[in-house]
Amino acid sequence: MKRSVEDIDLKGKRVLMRADFNVPLEYGKVADDFRIRASLPTIEYILDHGASLVLCSHLGRPGGEVVEALRLEPVAHVLSELLHQGVKNVDDCIGKHARDAALSLNPGEVLLLENTRFHTGEKENDPDFAKDLAEMGELFVNDAFAAAHRAHASTTGVARYLPAVAGLLMTKEIEVLSRVREDPKSPLVMVLGGAKVSDKIGMLEHFLNQADALLLGGGIANTVLKAKGIHVSASLVDEKSLETARQMLENAAGKLVCPKDVVIAKEKDAGADHRTISVGEDRIPDGWMILDIGPRTIAEFEKRLADANTVLWNGPLGVFELQPFSQGTMKIAEAVAGLDAETVTGGGETAAAMQQAGVISRIDHVSTGGGAFLKFMQAGELPGIAVLQEKEVQVE
């Protein structure tokens, strides 16, 4: 068990916290504050216990250069509103200006450093960059589960120079995902969608024997259908994973629940002409594509979910952002939210779908991780978690 922020004395300390503020921006403003809100319990805990707080995060992929559109100032504005107090921000994450701002903080005050990926040393996990970043605090709290699969300076490097513990969000992610990964209450039903099979191979291999049913939608279902020899026309298919899909069919055919009917259209557009067809019976016209599961499939998925004691969901079942193709994801989200079972979802698009369906508060655990979620469910460990202190280690 990893040492938590709750296990240490914070009073009078200056805490460097790695958060995950890699949020979508539109017109210079935060478009979705889900990840910011997820960090609030740890932020508030640190401030309530008499510490000052220096926050750091990456945003986007600036490639080690300053990109004006990827500055964290919009995040500082949202944080200020959510915390009901001013959040200071600086134009760099290291250097004299940033260090002076950090050292001048009083207990209860918050400073947000600039995008760590403006420096090449971040992704390279450069020791000098990590050391400069570590100078901003006396303790390191990692609450960025979604970035914990990256061995970067701000996720692993800093832990070489500061006592490192988990934040409340990180702790919850580890506890919930470890339980579901290692000892899920049976029956376990997995809902798998999204674009690529390859992203989910490791997780699938781990759960193949444990899962009682795997409900497939999205690109992963299209890939399996094509592997079965079904004509999917212009549908999204992970061509590189067709052989993997054939092996899945061979090893777990009785567990894989593929769509019986699908919604197809010629264009991925809200106003596109669309129709529902039976899979394997009706031929998908050339140039048309599968964009959602159909009503018979929804009913079958709901039936399979009804007896589940654990549900693990990753990836939407169709193009849920567009109303004609959202029904599958929305109805299954509602069904999952109504279950008397432990329900866990992972992935940015999956979280967005839960929000759109209005059920996010009724899901037991909505992981903030995408790639981190998949890799943790495969391996049970991540670089950003491995460097955190164990419970028995004492922090001076």
pLDDT averaged per 10 residues, the chain (length 396) = 96 98 96 95 98 98 97 98 97 98 98 98 98 98 97 98 98 97 96 88 88 96 95 94 91 90 96 94 93 98 98 96 96 98 94 95 95 94 97 60
Given the residues 60, 64, 371, 380, the one annotated as active site: 371
Residue 179 Cα distances to 59, 205, 294, 363, 365, angstroms: 30, 17, 33, 16, 12
Q: pLDDT value at position 327?
A: 97
Q: Is residue 382 part of a domain?
A: no
**Phi and psi for 221 in degrees, rounded to 5?**
-70, -40
Is 294 among the residues known to form the active site? Answer: no
Burial class from Cβ neighbours inside 10 Å (0-12, 13-18, 19+) for residue 268 reads middle
Same domain? 131 vs 192: no
Q: Spell out the residues 6+ positions from residue 84 whose beta carbon is closer than 8 angstroms to its own.
A: none
Quote the pTM value. Answer: 0.92
Q: pLDDT value at position 391?
A: 87
Instruction: Look at residues 140, 168, 196 and tell me which one is the last residue of a structural domain.
Output: 168
Q: Is residue 202 part of a domain?
A: yes
- Give the Cα separation of 208 and 345 in Å (integer): 18
Same domain? 139 vs 256: no
Is 3 among the residues known to form the active site? Answer: no
Q: pLDDT value at position 251?
A: 86
The residues with which 88 forms a beta bridge, in sequence order, are: 111
Instruction: Look at residues 126, 141, 168 and tell me which one is the last residue of a structural domain.
Output: 168
Same domain? 223 vs 91: no
Same domain? 96 vs 197: no
Q: pLDDT value at position 199?
A: 85
Q: Is residue 389 part of a domain?
A: no
Q: Is residue 387 part of a domain?
A: no
Same domain? 162 vs 220: no
> Within 13 Å and on the Cβ side, how many CA atoms surround 149?
14
Q: Is residue 392 part of a domain?
A: no
Is 348 among the residues known to form the active site? Answer: yes
Same domain? 69 vs 186: no
- Give the Cα separation of 82 and 156 in Å (integer): 28
Helix (H) or strand (E) holding 310: strand 310-314
Structure tokens at 195: 């674009």
Same domain? 215 vs 292: yes
Residue type, 301: F
Q: pLDDT value at position 392?
A: 74
Burial class from Cβ neighbours inside 10 Å (0-12, 13-18, 19+) for residue 195 reads middle
- Give the Cα separation of 339 and 342 in Å (integer): 8
Domain encompassing residue 25: 5-168
Residue 395 Cα distances to 56, 71, 388, angstroms: 22, 34, 12
Given the residues 35, 181, 200, 331, the one annotated as active site: 35
Q: Going by DSSP bridges, is the β-strand pair 139-142/256-257 parallel, antiparallel, or unpaired? A: unpaired
Residue type, 259: P
What is the torsional sign of CA 119, 120, 122, 127? negative
What is the torsional sign of CA 294, 299, 302, 307? negative
The domain spanning residue 295 has which CATH number?
A: 3.40.50.1260
Structure tokens at 119: 């420096």
| Count of domains forming the chain | 2
Q: pLDDT value at position 253?
A: 76
Q: pLDDT value at position 202?
A: 87
Same domain? 124 vs 238: no
Question: Is residue 99 within 8 Å of 136, Cβ to Cβ?
Answer: yes
Q: Is residue 218 part of a domain?
A: yes
DSSP states of 60-121 as a string? S--TTS--GGG-SHHHHHHHHHHHTS-EEE-S-SSSHHHHHHHHTPPTT-EEE---GGGSHH
Q: Is residue 390 part of a domain?
A: no
Q: Is residue 142 part of a domain?
A: yes
Same domain? 76 vs 137: yes
The rounded radius of gyration (Å) of the Cα atoms in the chain is 22
Is 150 among the residues known to form the active site? Answer: no
Same domain? 155 vs 181: no
Q: pLDDT value at position 54?
A: 98
Given the residues 88, 196, 266, 296, the one annotated as active site: 196
Same domain? 36 vs 55: yes
Given the residues 194, 219, 294, 348, the one annotated as active site: 348
Same domain? 290 vs 345: yes
